[in-house]
């Protein structure tokens, strides 16, 4: 069972659970304003350790567009399959204008749940947009 550390607090989470849901299950009101579809970037996390070396095309595309690639990852596009330590960047607690964190994300990664090595995801994203 993977161990997730969120701002110094560690818990075991189910293998394969979406990171956004694992964070939320630990009582952290992380943003997911688009419902976990890799469109808004409010579920962004900073990794202290355990950053996956794979990425979905959807995550790559939105992080590239928003000039966030290399500084944060989207917790809605990551599954818990190993130990990780993260800091949620946007939560209901630090976003005064939010009355909610957003629509509930699905239990599976959406859209396309295919991960590419980070070294290959740019090419895969280019091919799908051509």
In the chain the domains, ranked by start, together with CATH numbers, are 3-97+112-129 (3.10.20.30)
48 class by beta-carbon count within 10 Å (0-12 exposed, 13-18 middle, 19+ buried): middle
- pLDDT band of residue 130 (cuts 50, 70, 90) is low
Which residue did the predictor score with more confidence, 23 or 116?
23
The model's pTM is 0.92
pLDDT for res 113 = 80
In SS3 terms, 1-40 reads as CCEEEECCEEEECCCCCEHHHHHHHCCCCECCCCCCCCCC
Asked whether residue 112 carries a pLDDT value surpassing 90, the answer given is: no
């Amino acid at each position: 069972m993977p161990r997730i550390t969120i701002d110094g607090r560690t818990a075991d989470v189910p293998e394969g659970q979406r990171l956004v849901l694992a964070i939320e299950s630990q009582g952290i009101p992380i943003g997911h304003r688009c419902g976990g579809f890799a469109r808004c970037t409010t579920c962004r996390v900073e990794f202290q350790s355990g950053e996956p070396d794979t990425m979905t095309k959807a995550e790559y595309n939105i992080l590239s567009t928003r000039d966030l690639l290399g500084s944060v990852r989207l917790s809605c596009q990551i599954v818990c399959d190993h130990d990780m330590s993260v800091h949620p960047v946007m939560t209901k607690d630090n976003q005064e204008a939010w009355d909610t964190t957003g629509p509930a994300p699905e239990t599976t990664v959406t859209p396309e749940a295919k991960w590419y090595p980070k070294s290959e995801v740019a090419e895969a994203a280019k091919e799908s947009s051509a």
